[in-house]
Structure 1
Amino acid sequence: MKKVLYLGLVMVLCFSMIGCSNSNAFKVGETEFSNEEVDKVKSILTATQSYTDADYLAQFKESKDNDDKIKQEVISYMIDNEVVYQQAQKDKIKVTDDEVNQKYSQIEKMLDTNQEYKKLLDDAGVDEDYLKETIKKDLAVQKYRENFEQDLKVTDKEVEKYYKEHKDEFKEESVEAYHILVSTLDDKNKTVDDSKKEELKSKAESLLKEIKNGGDFEKIAKENSDDKSSGKKGGYLGYFTKDSKNAQFTKEAFKLEKGQVSNVFETPFGYEIVKVTNKKTEQKSLEDSREEIVNRILADKYLDQVNSLREKSDVQRF
């Protein structure tokens, strides 16, 4: 889990806060972190997994058997973030209010178009003050990482060696698909209220029932899809990869086998129905993989640095 998180998939929402008064879980230097804070971060990660292509977060599903293991993973993640943040402070890395407000505005706009996700974060206690302080810490850690990586050189020899040793990891899967969108966004691009959403979900379920009863998918898409661009082509999207569209959408599409139609599922844009008509896997060349390989090597070197900082830090678990 830790390695993937450090690549930034849920970075903005996953730092802990200071100042709760209940029993403490761990301490980094003079900064203490409560069990309540650990639970909050765990809740954020759990909410976030539904909105990213993040199979590695599947372990965050509640289970009595693995709850303690999950908690220890979250604490380990929080400790690593904190030791980097404290080093950033020692290095006098500054984050301005303008930088924080700009990032907050971006996140606020995203949440405005996804009220369900916003509710999950509200339930986890992520209010404006929490989020802004989290952003401030996140940006400091981000700047520390950028400063660390800017002087690193990744050679052609390193890239070629990595590609040779991990060649099977550089295969690109794509699917050919059609979809029907029943939009839940109003004219101002904001999510409609709950009663209207229920009405729209019922419409999507009705369309799916029609398809399963033998209805022509393309004809139904032309007549009903709110994605007008693909709708006029019967919902045709062509071939696409996992990282080329919304993660919630591709997560569902890539579950399907050739010829299968999905159940109704929700994305920030509305209720979706997808039909996969073909799948293919292609080996990516070294040159096509070069940027990803460089990023992976830099990430590995950064993780080594994080581990080094952690070893030098005064960390106590309670």
Structure 2
Amino acid sequence: MKNCFNYLHLQDLIVQKGDLMKTKYVVLLALGLLLLVCSRDTTKLEKGTPEYEFAQKISEKVPYFNPDQNNVVATSKDFRVTTGEVLKNIFSNMGKGVTRFYSLDSLKLKEVLKNSAKEYSDKKLLLVAAEKAKIELPPAKFDSIMQMQYRRHGSREKFVEILTKNGVGIEFVEQQIKESVIIEQFLNQVLSERVKPTEEEILQAYNSDKTATVRHILMQTQGKSESEKAAIHNKMEGILKRAQSGEDFAKLAMEFSEDPGSKTKGGLYENFGRGDMVKPFDEAAFSVPVGEISDIVETTYGYHILKVESRSKETRPLDEVRPELEQKFEQTKRRDVYFQYLEELQKETQFKLTEF
């Protein structure tokens, strides 16, 4: 009932004159009206709206997102998230771009919707936690952030014009920016101590390899079905055997790699720092012995095979590089700490995603 009209408004509905029975009756009537208003599902999409039509098309392939059912996709002690909320958020965020969803097959669409539901629910979880921690965004700071956005696009009018052309409303964008800043402030407050490195961690980072040079072969799996990914993995196994048997790795990369950034250079990436690459790739680059070839490594891009060419350590004095090490350590650790904290928050609030 927290989001319904103020309970004190009931006083305006109570008859102050008349007998006791009449007053009791009116009070009960008022309470009934209150329950009726509060029980109405405000997240359900209204028929005849563009969001409802979008949901109807989506539900043809993923029935769980039927707008008339408005099924639950996540729950916690503080809130629940419905399919209507998720689809409305997608529609408001993408505007005319939602037509891209219509060409997806049912399996891919279901995967996209699951990810969208999780992202939206995680965000709501953090916003509720930020509200409890009394995190607020001063109007002056928000105005400053928006003015920066307007200047970046020429003016507020031009910014609104760009959004309108894409079917996105300025009110939605402003709300998204506001919520993102509030979450950032909240996480900075909660995670600041957790990401600070200890002296032992600083020394370990200083004495570890600083950069790596590798060659790699990538075969992309983004947007592929499970059967397609299995076929790609089998192909990569064949390439790995050829590399392990002594074939020229650079030539194999030029022949098979699908990475446009390194294919013509024989798969070469030179002197990149620890943490610069996606985590599985980074871990292989800094753990596989120099001169050796990795097993097949999977990232969000696809399947990789790495050959480590060389690694180098820091040559500057520790005191000189300490601030840099601290900053990089915090940036690297922040992602892990964030997911750890999110998991703690989910357990604390009994957060649960619905399988559909």
Larger relative CO (CA 8 A, sep 6+): 1 or 2? 1
Q: TM-score, normalised by structure 1?
A: 0.46
Q: TM-score, normalised by structure 2?
A: 0.42
